[in-house]
């Protein structure tokens, strides 16, 4: 079973993500604070982490960089990261955040499902 961890404080984004990805072969868990991503990722060992760019006091960029540092240090197993952006002009941020790819909101369930499947 593929495990996905979603980090967003937006209920709308969470609902769209769960609807697009949750199924018999995929579990989706959610955190609402960026600072919780590392701890929950260590506990759940997700295959994919989806980070909203704006998550309270520790956004998607900081959470992505934190995960990459933990992976490099050997404290987390390798995983894929999708960064959810607010606008097209922010696409360069995903590269700086060392995300595997980015997706601009509003979310499209089909695009999210295809992107997640390509990474899993």
Domain boundaries of the chain, sorted by first residue: 2-119
> So what's the pLDDT on residue 62?
96
3 bridge partner residues:
27
pTM for this predicted structure: 0.95
What 3-state class would DSSP assign to 73?
Answer: coil
Per residue in 77-91, pLDDT (tens digit) is 999 999 999 998 889
Check residue 25 and give its pLDDT: 94
Cis peptide before 106 (omega within 30 of 0): yes
Judge contact between 42 and 75, C-beta under 8 A: yes
Quote the pLDDT of residue 42: 97
* Cα 7–Cα 10–Cα 3 angle in degrees, nearest 5: 30
Quickly name the fold that domain 2-119 has: Rossmann fold (3.40.50)
Beta bridge partners of 29: 5
Query: What are the C-alpha distances in Å from 14 to residues 39, 84, 96, 98?
Result: 19, 12, 24, 22
């Amino acid at each position: 079973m593929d495990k996905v961890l979603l980090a967003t404080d937006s209920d709308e984004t969470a609902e769209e993500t769960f609807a697009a990805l949750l199924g018999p072969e995929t579990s989706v868990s959610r955190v609402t604070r960026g600072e919780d991503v590392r701890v929950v990722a260590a506990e759940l060992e997700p295959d994919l982490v989806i980070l909203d760019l704006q998550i309270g006091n520790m956004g998607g960029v900081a959470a992505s960089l934190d995960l990459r540092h933990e992976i490099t240090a050997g404290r987390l197993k390798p995983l894929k990261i999708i960064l959810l952006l607010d606008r097209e002009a922010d696409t360069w941020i995903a590269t700086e955040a060392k995300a595997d790819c980015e997706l601009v909101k509003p979310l499209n369930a089909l695009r999210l499902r295809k992107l997640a499947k390509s990474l899993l």
